Structure 1
Amino acid sequence: MPLRVGYVREHFSSPLLQFAAFDEGRTFSLVECPGGTGQLISRLANDEIDVALALTDALISGIANGSKAYKLVGSFVSTPLNWAVITGKDAKFQGIPDLEGTTIGISRPGSGSQTMAYVMALQQGWPTDDLKFQVNNDIRGLINSVNDGSTSAFMWEWFTTKPFVDAGEVRFIGSVPTPWPSWLIAAHPSQDRAPFSEVRSFLVGLTKYIREFDSADSRASKNVDYIKAHFGYSADDIEAWLKTVAYPQDCLVIPEKVITDTLSILEKAGVVKVPEGGFDLEQFVETKVAKFA
């Protein structure tokens, strides 16, 4: 049975989509998760997917907080993610400091949109133990919530949100880049669902398509045409995004520093609590698939 690979249909996923078009379902099938990383993690736990390409912070915090639904098996995007802070088109909020004490919209508990709200609070010097959240499931629910006033703002990737800003539906009031590389790959630990050999084979294939997408020739022309055709962004926005993004040369390698640095920041933000004796990094990574760098 092909691996079920969960992903978010965004421009970041272009190399995965190109790989899937070649594979044609022989070794893996794609499962779209518009609710983001929170939904990906939920589907891993509920036997709806076997592998997930998801946000670094939410994956690491999930394991640190006790999840046994997955372990890390690879890297996907090696540059930070620029999270836009979004409010309603007619809302009173003009900047991030105005959001203190208000209710922030998130897609799901444990999602990147929630984790980054804690990071934003840490940067602003707000207490992190009394943040208020409202779950709104997906980008459309989040947009509705800031416009009906049930939330003050939400956080989502900058370029994914820009078309809604350009259309006048919502407003940017700031941004918070992640202090870590943005995307990792996780797999369910069960050998019935995600056999090590099949996961490794998937990651080797994905690496090939990432290297092609990340090449100078592809960045100069093919990538712009591909993303424009599949996601509808303007050429200017695509070219601006391509200047900010980088992918790993080998998806099977996870830098140890990514995990330790992310845990350190998440602990400061109050998202995770360090156990007595510290974290065991092999708790996070399936070393029969991935290797540390």
Structure 2
Amino acid sequence: MPLRVGYVREHFSTPLLQFQDADQDKTFTLVECPSGTGQLISRLTKDEIDVAIALTDPLISGIANGSTAYKLCGSYVSTPLNWAVITGKDTKFQNISDLKRTPIGISRLGSGSQTMAYVMALQQGWPTEDLKFQINNDIRGLIDSVNDGSTSAFMWEWFTTKPFVDAGEARFIGSVPTPWPSWLIAAHPSPDRAAPDALRSFIAGLSGYVRAFDSAANRAGPNLEVIKAKFGYPAEDIEAWLKTVAYPQDCLAIPSKVITDTLDVLEKAGVVKAPAGGFQLDHFVATDIVKLT
């Protein structure tokens, strides 16, 4: 059976989509999860996907908070994600500081949009227990909520939301980059769901497309045309994004520092709580698949 790989159809997924186009043996199928990492984790739990390419922080916090639906098995994007803070087109909010004690829109519980709200609160010096959330499922629901007044703002990746801002549907009032590399790969721990050989083969194959995409030659022009064709973004937005993003040379390796640094920030933000004796890194990773560096 081909691996069922969950992903979010955004510009970050371009190397994955190129891999799929070349996968003549159909060793994997892609399952789109437009609501983001919260939906990806839910589908891993419900046996709807076997592998997820998802955001670092909710993946790590999920395991830290007791999820057994997946283990980390690879790296995908090695640079931070720039989370825009977005409000409605006609709201009173002008700065992040204006959002204190107001309801924040999120896609799902445990999503990146929620964990980054905690990071934003930590940076602003707000008590994290004061945060109030409203679940709005996807980008359309989030934009509607900031315009109907049910939420003050929400957080989503900058370039994904820029077309809505350019169209006058919403406004940027700030941004919060992640203090960690932004994307990891996770898989269900059962060999019946994600056989180790198939998983290693998939991630090794993905590494080749990631390295090609990240190469100087492809950055000089071909990447822009591919992203423009697949996503329809303006050339200037693609060029700006390409200057900010980098991918790992080996997707079958995770720097230990990624996990420890992420846990440190999430613990300070009140998203996770360390057990007695501290977190054990082996608890987070599929040690038969990925190497910690």
CA contact 1:107–1:136 (8 Å) conserved in 2: yes
Structure 1: gaps of 5 or more residues: none
Structure 1, residues 85-117: CA drift from partner, whole Å, max 9, x if none? 000000110000000000000000000000000
Q: Which amino acid aligns with 2:184?
A: L
Residue 9 of structure 2 is aligned to residue 9 of structure 1: yes
Partner Cα separation in structure 2 for residue 93 and residue 31 of structure 1: 36
What CA deviation, in whole Å up to 9, does each residue of 1:37-81 have, x standing for no partner?
000000000000000000000000000000000000000000000
Provide the rounded CA distance (Å) in 2 between the counterparts of 1:4 and 1:32.
10
How far is 1:130 from its partner? 2.3
What does residue 197 of structure 2 align with? 197
Question: What's the TM-score once normalised by structure 1's chain length?
Answer: 0.99
Q: Determine helix, strand or coil for the equivalent of 1:6.
A: strand
CA distance in 1, matches of 2:168, 2:229: 23
Residues of 2 paired with 1:219 and 1:273: CA distance? 41
Counterpart check, 1:113 vs 2:102:
no
CA distance in structure 1 between the aligned counterparts of 2:25 and 2:282, rounded to whole angstroms: 31
Q: Matches of residues 100-139 of structure 1 in structure 2 within 5 Å?
A: 100-139=100-139
Residue 183 of structure 2 is matched in structure 1 by 183
Residue 24 of structure 1 deviates from its aligned partner by 4.2
Aligned in 2, Cα 1:25/1:160: closer, same or farther, shift over 3 Å?
A: farther
Give a deviation string over 1:176-224, Cα, whole Å, max 9, x none. 0000000000000011000111100000000000011011111011100
SS in 2 for 1:154: strand
May I ask how many residue pairs the two structures share in their alignment? 293
Asked if residue 163 in structure 1 is aligned to residue 158 in structure 2, the reply is no
Matched residue of 1:208: which SS? Answer: helix
Structure 1 stretches of at least 4 aligned residues deviating more than 4 Å after TM superposition: none
1:34 aligned to 2:38? no
Contact 1:58 1:112 (C-alpha < 8 Å) held by counterparts: yes
Shift of 1:271: 0.2
What amino acid sits opposite 1:84 in the alignment?
Answer: A
In 1, distance between residues paired with 2:50 and 2:130?
A: 34
C-alpha deviation, 1:26, in angstroms: 1.4
> C-alpha distance in 1, partners of 2:146/2:25?
39
- Indicate if the aligned counterparts of 1:2 and 1:25 stay in contact, CA closer than 8 A: no
Tell me which amino acid in the other structure corresponds to 2:84.
A
**Change in 2 beyond 3 A, CA 1:24/1:86:** farther
- Measured after TM superposition, the shift of residue 25 of structure 1 is 6.1
Correspondence 1:35-114 to 2 at 5 A: 35-114=35-114
One-letter amino acid of the structure 1 residue matched with residue 256 of structure 2: E
- What amino acid sits opposite 1:169 in the alignment? E
Query: What do you get for the CA RMSD once the two structures are aligned?
Result: 0.6
SS of residue paired to 1:146: helix
In structure 1, what residue type is equivalent to 2:10?
Answer: E
Could you tell me the percent identity over the aligned residues?
A: 78
Q: Is the contact between residue 4 and residue 30 of structure 1 (CA under 8 Å) also seen in structure 2?
A: yes
Structure 2 distance, partners of 1:268, 1:125, is: 11
Q: Which amino acid aligns with 1:274?
A: A
Q: Distance in 1 between matches of 2:130 and 2:68?
A: 27
Between 204-213 and 20-29, report the one with greater CA deviation: 20-29
